[in-house]
Structures are given as structure tokens and as C-alpha cells.
Amino acid sequence: MTTSRREMFSRALVAGSALSAMEMFAEAPEATAGDAGELRLGVASYSFREFGRKIAIQGTQKLAKYINYKDVHLPLTSTPAEIKKAIADTEKAGLKIVGGGTIYFQKDDEADIRSKFEYAKACGMPTIVCMPNVDILPKLEKFVKEYDIKVAVHAHGPEDKNFQRPQDVLKIVKNMDPRCGLCIDVGHTVRTGVDLVSTVAETGPRLLDMHVKDLASFTAKDSQVPCGDGKMPFPALFTQLKKMNYQGYINLEYEIDDTDPLPNMIKSFAYMRGVIAGLKG
């Protein structure tokens, strides 16, 4: 995207012009699907990683009511005043902070672990989506109990040195506090060769959060496409989530079109809402 195109994208969002937004992207559907105990769609702010928090908020407003903040938009080093402003800006926009991450736990250091739980507490994050080292994961349970903040371990597929598949996480957290569980990233999961829907069923109540995307090829990380244009079995996935009364959020993590993500994010949400609307029962 050219600089002028990117500037136009930013101006349209910052200005809050409904007309400009419609001309560029078309209006997003109402963010009502998933409320009242149904499947809840949200946005992983990493989708707007090339933009500041203001743009991430305004983009999310056009898509959903729920946001999971990546630290590029709400830094781990934020001061109390900065966190207070971020929360105020988010709530003013009608959005709910449903988690933070991915946050890394790579130091066997209680002070480091505590600082990240303090950050989540200050930000009002009920869930930390995290990537801990294998030996550190069991040590998080103490802090989960102390802070009453859930941890959802994010397996990152074949490249992950700690947890490739959700099953690798499950075998450790299955005997931990119920607030210790998983964030299944559907794109990373299918690339490990496991069946996505049966894996989701296997995790059961340990599934605390979810990142969704679509892939044209389950063996190619770089084959991401807008949801509905690839091979991801969204109807079967959403049917399984509803069957198991999934209580977490389904957060779109859009990792392509990084300087102009909104058009195909709108397309992705429209597709997912259509799938949800078509579910029986």
C-alpha cells in the first residue's frame, strides 16, 4: 500500500467518518452475534500492529465489542496513568478488554512473573494469553490463584520449541487449577497435522481463549486468507464450540494485509457471523 493510501486509511478511522469508512470498506455488521451466552467474536489487536492504539480501537469498533490487547497497543511497561487512559479510551469506544497477549514467560524469576500479572490486573484483563517455557508453566499456577487471572497457553505450531500442539499444553495443565488452560490458534493447530475440531473437543473446559484465521493450505504458514476463503472448517468448529458451551472469546488474529487490514477483517467477520447465524439449536 502506498503512503498516501495508508494515510487515507488512518484519516478515515481517526476522523470517525461513517461515509468515508463505507466508501473505503463497506459497513461492518452489527456486533451482536455471540452475545447473551452465544459464541462471542472479538479482535486480537495484533491485527492492527502497524497502527497505534487509537486506530486499533476505532478499527475494532467496526467489527466487534471485545478486544484482546497485544503489548504493541498497551505496553507491559505502561505507567498507571497510561493504563488508566488506555482503559478509559477503550471503554469510551464501547469495547471490553477480554485479555492480553501473547505475553511471554521465559524467565524463571518470580519478580518477572509477578510484574506481568500486576500489569494484567491493572489493565482489567481476566485472561493472559501466554507463551511460557515448559518448566515455567507449572509455576504460573500460584499466581493464577493469587490474582484470579486465567492463563491461556498459546501453542505456536511446528516452530514452537515449547508447545507445538494444544495436546502438549493439555498434558501439563490438566491437573492444574481450572483457570490454567489453553488458547487454541486454529492456524497454528492445523499445521501440526491434528484434527482441529476433535482437538477442541479434547480440550473441553481447559479451552479458555481462541485465535482464529483461515489458511489456503494447512501445511503453509504463509497461506493465510480472509476467513471463509480458505480450508478452515468454521461451521464444524463453531458447532463444536457451541456444543461444549464454550465460555471464552473467538478473537480474529488477522496477520496479512498488515498496512490495510480492515477490509478483509470486515469480510472475515461477515463470514463468521453468517456461520454462527446458521447454526442449529
Q: Indicate whether 58 pLDDT > 70.
A: yes
Residue 109 β-bridge partners: none
Amino acid found at 239: T
Classified as helix, coil or strand, 182 is: strand
Which pLDDT belongs to residue 3? 45
Segments in the chain forming alpha helices (H): 3-15, 18-25, 53-61, 80-92, 110-123, 140-147, 166-173, 186-190, 196-203, 234-243, 262-277
**Residue 2 — very low, low, confident or very high, per pLDDT cuts 50/70/90?**
very low
- β-strand pairing of 214-215 with 96-105: unpaired
Residue 184 β-bridge partners: 210
Q: Indicate whether 190 pLDDT > 50.
A: yes
- β-strand pairing of 214-215 with 224-225: antiparallel
Task: Answer whether CATH 3.20.20.150 is correct for domain 3-277.
Answer: yes
Which pLDDT belongs to residue 38? 85
Query: What are the boundaries of each domain within the chain?
Result: 3-277
Identify whether the C-beta of residue 215 lies closer than 8 Å to the C-beta of residue 223. yes
Measured distance CA(62)–CA(264) in Å, rounded: 12
What are the pLDDT digits (tens) for 253-265?
999 999 999 999 9
Amino acid found at 23: E
Amino acid found at 226: P
* Sequence-separated (6 or more) residues with CB below 8 Å from residue 109: none
Measured distance CA(61)–CA(194) in Å, rounded: 34
SS3 of 227-267: the string is CCCCCCCHHHHHHHHHHCCCCCEEEECCCCCCCCCHHHHHH
Q: What percent of the chain lies above the pLDDT cut of 70? A: 86
Quick one: average pLDDT of 75-80?
A: 97
pTM, full prediction? 0.87
Q: What are the Cα distances from residue 113, in Å, to 104, 138, 262?
A: 9, 12, 34
Quick one: average pLDDT of 132-149?
A: 97
